[in-house]
């Protein structure tokens, strides 16, 4: 399974972006997908995790109410709609996939197999 993120860029505070995570080489519908981000000098952290059918979606506290993760298994793609962006949302955003349901909690350690190359999001005026 290969994952490619897109949709990052430079946006002013309060703006919106939609990230896409497109999969190839396999059916993404068999995988849970996580969104993670990493700012310079900081550890990679979880943003959101979406289960197989999207029936259970986790959001990290800093993004609750602003970000929305959805999936379109027919298009083999998962999306992250990011609204009301803040400077602290700046970072490199990655998607990752694990077959079936992820274990324990939404964290990078639960997604140890398939990762994209990341897309940069910069929130600045």
Which pair of structure tokens corresponds to residue 39?
A: 């700012």
Q: Is the pLDDT of residue 125 over 80?
A: yes
Segment 1-7 mean pLDDT = 97
Question: Given this model, what pLDDT does residue 55 score?
Answer: 78
Is residue 54 scored above 90 in pLDDT?
no
Q: Mean of the pLDDT values across residues 12-30?
A: 96
Percent of the chain with pLDDT over 90: 89
By C-alpha distance, which of 12, 58, 11 is closest to 33?
Answer: 58
Contact by Cβ (8 Å): 33, 95: yes
pLDDT over threshold 80, residue 46: yes
């Amino acid at each position: 399974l290969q994952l490619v993120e897109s949709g990052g860029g430079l946006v002013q505070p309060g703006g919106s972006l939609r990230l896409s995570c497109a999969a190839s080489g396999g059916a993404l519908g068999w995988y849970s997908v996580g969104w993670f981000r990493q700012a310079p000098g900081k550890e990679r952290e979880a943003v959101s995790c979406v289960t197989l059918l999207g029936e259970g979606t986790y959001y990290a506290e800093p993004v609750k109410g602003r970000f929305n993760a959805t999936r379109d298994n027919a298009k083999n793609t998962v999306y992250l709609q990011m609204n009301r962006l803040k400077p602290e949302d700046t970072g490199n955003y990655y998607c990752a996939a694990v077959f079936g349901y992820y274990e324990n909690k939404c964290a990078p350690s639960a997604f140890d197999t398939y990762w994209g190359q990341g897309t940069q999001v910069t929130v600045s005026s």
